[in-house]
Chains A and B, each alone.
Chain A
Amino acid sequence: MAVAELTFGREELAAAQDESQAAMVWRRFRRHKLALIGLIIATALALLCFIGPIVSPYAANKIETGGAAYSGLNRLPPGSKVTLLWDYGDPATVHDDRISKVATGWVASTAPGITAEHRLYVLGTDDNGRDTLTRLMQGGRVSLSLALIVVFVSQILGTVIGAISGYFGGWTDSVLMRAVDFLLTLPSLPIFMVLSVVLRERNIPGGSVGVLAVVFILLGWTGAARLVRGMVLSLKNQEFTEAARAMGASDMRIILRHLIPNAIAPVLVSATLFIGAVVVGEAGLSYLGFGVQAPNPSWGNMLSNAQQLILSQPWAVFYPGMAIFLTSLSFNFMGDALRDALDPRGQIK
């Protein structure tokens, strides 16, 4: 874009000619250390959640300890017995260097002949005797995939609606934008709760997770629609659009090939921030009991479950909340850096 190039430095311009836009955005994104940390944390969390349950010797919903809450290894008093990999069947005494043996001990936990109390539950078990770490990872699968699906669908929906609204104008625009205004006047958390009650019994595929996805998508497209509409309003009268029209391109083609690609940058930023918001929102709703339903773990309903044990196991509320917090924080970091990286008027250092 002409405007963008004017504010670039000379070296920047030379560099920009050699690299693709994606490479430039990546180069500018990398300058934000916090965003890189965020990227690493988010990737690590995703890997942990999607691979962890496969590796784990426990199942997320299986009762391991006969329904009693067990502490994690690092909470065991000295002298307690746990099973470590190198001495099957003969429970070793907890040593001071026990933390380093956690990983190996964990894998050996389901070896035959080892009783429940000698197995290793890295983060302990919940009040039903289910392994907390496995549930945390399984819950993360639910929370993260929900967030990704919701953000993907709602942002595409919003982009298309916003582009149509901005491009055609007139009554299409009025109707769609009044709908957006209306959805924005609804108080968010209470409406999410009502919708999840309304949809709960409706046989939506995916059960309570599906219900949550529908609720978030129904109310989540408005932001993207507004952003894209605003961009399209200014883009549709620029020369390149008129050139496309003069060459006989259809409305559909102009919208999909010319307008949306040029209006997508702010949507990418808001989508990144929205991922964190959906993870927090899911947790809030599940915490209140209007989201993912037991026995399926999610970070939110694990938190509300842990709250009931707050007197006997106060640390149990720590893990799921920390997972939500880290996810939300890392996507916020990335969104912020992406905003800078995609901003054509951005200062180049």
Chain B
Amino acid sequence: MTAYLIRRFIQMFIVLIVSSMAIYTLLNLVPGGPFDGLLQNSDRKTQITAEQIKRMETMLGLDKPPAIRFIAWATGDDWMGVLNKDWKGTGRGVIRGDFGQSFKEHRPVIDMIAGRIKKTVILAGLSAFLAIIIAIPIGIFSAVRQYSKADYAVTLFTFIGTALPSFWFALMAIVLFGIKFQQWGIPKLPTKGWMEPRAPRPGTLTHLLGVTPGSNFDVFLHLLLPVAVFSLLQMAGWTRFMRSSMLEVLQQDYVRTARSKGLAERFVVVKHALRNALIPLVTIVTFELPGLFGGTILLEQIFAIPGMGNLYYSGLSEFDWPVVQAYLLIAAVLTVMATLLSDILYTVVDPRIRLG
């Protein structure tokens, strides 16, 4: 196991280096880059000169050759005086936890991430958690009562849930719980942001409950809609998965044996079948976690939540490459970690599987 883990970690490290290089190359291919907007300015007075651009490039470290820039990004440029006096800087590089300076905000990217990653993790984590704990019992129920009316209803729900575009579902939820509720005189749910920016207005749920802006309860109310939307969509796929995995297990010989021993059906399902039916679900859920992280980009945009997805969106729109790189690196790390984790979990839930 130890040898296996060491080998996997080395592989992961190589994959991460390759993907960072690929991303770096890609971003360097963008024509114009961060100064594109500035160059298009045709107003004489505020038009910038080639000299000014040169100065800005030096400031942002863009004057070095691309390969050197990549090494500086990865390992820092504080040691680079050894190679070339002009290359010396103060960056400590990604391997020492420094993601560089944002082009737009001129502050360390790591500081920008720090306040946001928690929100995204809460949003995605809570949704995934809710989705799992609801999907498992529904999936079991639907499998045990295969071809019943309830089973058909569940199957239809899973079809609808997997086909629903998340952003549209979110918008419709905002229309119903925000706009329509207000029209009908029902206290409307918060549809925007992470918390109330100021004292809530009458007619809102936050006002009715007398919530103090910024309190945990306020955050909880703001999370209601996004988490409900996100978890419902995840739930659909996972319920379907749980159902088919349970159906497969219920046909196994050992389940028949358990039944023929005269065990109660309930006992057979919960003690014998469930454990094995969970194996595929565990792996697929772990495997999909990084996807959830990416999926928050759309939701954070719709619900105006200042999380990682929102940061990535604005970084990409404004050509703020250090921000984009940091996000993609974090996403790639999450993906390779999740793959490894799902492989390891496989052996935990099913001792017959050995990693070698």
Q: What are the residues of chain B within 8 A of A325 when measuring CB–CB?
A: 163-165, 168
A190 and B290 in contact (CB under 8 A), knowing A284-B165, A310-B175? Answer: no
The answer to whether B332 touches A187, judged by C-beta atoms less than 8 angstroms apart, is yes
Contact string, B291-309, partner A, CB cutoff 8 A, digits 1/0?
1011101100110000000
Give Cα A320–Cα B168 distance, bound, in whole angstroms: 9
Say which residue of A190, A280, A287, A311 sits within 8 Å of B331 (CB atoms).
A190
Bound-state CA distance A328–B236 (Å) is 15
- In the bound assembly, the distance between CA atoms of A191 and B293 in angstroms comes to 13
Please tell me if the beta carbons of A284 and B23 are within 8 angstroms of each other in the complex: no
- Known A198-B26, A329-B160, A332-B163; judge A185-B168 contact (CB<8 A): no
Residues of A within 8 A of B162 (CB): 332
Residues of chain A contacted by B32 (CB below 8 angstroms): 201
**In the complex, what distance in Å separates the CA atom of A328 from the CA atom of B179?**
27
B234 at the interface (CB under 8 A from A): no
Q: Which residues of B contact A287 (CB under 8 A)?
A: 167, 298
Given the complex, which residues of A lie within 8 Å of B29, measured CB to CB?
A: 198
* Contact flags A303-316 to B (C-beta < 8 A → 1, else 0): 10001001100100
On whether the beta carbons of A310 and B171 are closer than 8 Å, the reply is yes
**B15: chain A residues within 8 A (beta carbon):** 182, 185
A34 at the interface (CB under 8 A from B): yes
B1-29 vs A, CB cutoff 8 Å, 1 = contact: the mask equals: 00000000000000100110001001101
Can you list, as one digit per residue, whether each of B332-351 has a CB less than 8 Å from chain A (1) or not (0)?
A: 10111001000000000000
Looking at chain B's contact residues, the main secondary structure is helix
> Which residues 26-82 of B sit at the A interface, judged by CB distance below 8 A?
26-27, 29-32
B316 touches A (CB below 8 Å):
yes
CA distance A186 to B18 in the complex (A): 11
| Any A CB within 8 A of the CB of B327 | yes
In the complex, which residues of chain A have a beta carbon less than 8 angstroms from the beta carbon of B324? Answer: 194
Residues of B near A307 (CB, < 8 A) are 171, 302
By beta carbon, the residue of chain A nearest B158 is A332
Other-chain contact of B167, A194, A283, A333 (Cβ < 8 Å): A283
Query: Which B residues lie within 8 Å of A189 (CB)?
Result: 294-295, 297-298
The size of the chain A interface, using a CB distance under 8 A, is 41
With both chains docked as a complex, state the minimum distance between the C-beta of B66 and any C-beta of chain A, in angstroms: 15
Residue ID in chain A nearest B302 by CB atoms: A307
Task: Chain A residues near B339: list those with CB within 8 A.
Answer: 185
Output the nearest chain B residue to A330 by Cβ-Cβ distance.
B163
Identify which of A186, A310, A322 contacts B179 (C-beta below 8 A).
A310
Asked whether, in the complex, the Cβ of B19 is within 8 Å of the Cβ of A328, the reply is no
A residues in contact with B251, CB < 8 Å: none
- Would A188 and B291 count as touching, CB distance under 8 A? yes
Task: Please measure, in the bound complex, the distance between the C-alpha atom of A336 and the C-alpha atom of B334, giving whole angstroms.
Answer: 31
A321 touches B172 (CB 8 A): yes
Hey, which chain B residues are within 8 Å of A116, CB to CB? none
A349 → chain B closest CB, angstroms: 12
In the complex, B252 has a CB within 8 A of chain A:
no
A292 within 8 A of B: no
Please give, as numbers and ranges, the residues of chain B lying within 8 Å of A333 by CB-CB distance.
159
Identify the closest chain B residue to A287 (Cβ). B167
Residues of B within 8 A of A276 (CB): 163
Q: Is B131 interfacial (CB-CB < 8 Å)?
A: no
Do A34 and B159 touch across chains, with their CB atoms under 8 A apart?
yes
Within 8 A of B (CB), among A199-216: 201-202
Complex formed: what's the CA distance from A328 to B165 in Å? 9
- Docked complex Cα distance between A315 and B135 (Å): 31
Please indicate the chain A residues that have their CB under 8 angstroms from the CB of B291 in the complex: 187-188
B293 nearest in chain A by CB position: A187
Expressed in whole angstroms, the Cα–Cα distance for A195 and B290 within the complex equals: 19
- Which B residues touch A289, using CB under 8 A? 317
Instruction: Say if the beta carbon of A269 comes within 8 Å of chain B.
Output: no
Answer whether A187 and B26 are a contact pair too, CB < 8 Å, given A201-B32, A321-B165, A325-B168.
Answer: no
Report which of A186, A188, A202, A317 forms a contact with B175, defined as CB distance below 8 A: A317
**Residue B157 CB within 8 A of the other chain:** no
| B97 nearest CB across to chain A (Å) | 21
Q: Mark A266-288, 1 if CB is under 8 A from B, else 0.
A: 00000000001000100110011
Please tell me if B107 contacts chain A, counting CB pairs below 8 Å. Answer: no
**18 CB < 8 A contacts A-B:** A182-B15, A182-B19, A185-B335, A187-B291, A187-B293, A189-B295, A190-B312, A190-B331, A194-B27, A198-B26, A201-B32, A288-B301, A289-B317, A310-B174, A311-B179, A314-B179, A318-B175, A321-B168
The 7 closest A-B pairs by CB, nearest first: A321-B168, A329-B163, A187-B331, A328-B163, A189-B294, A201-B31, A314-B175
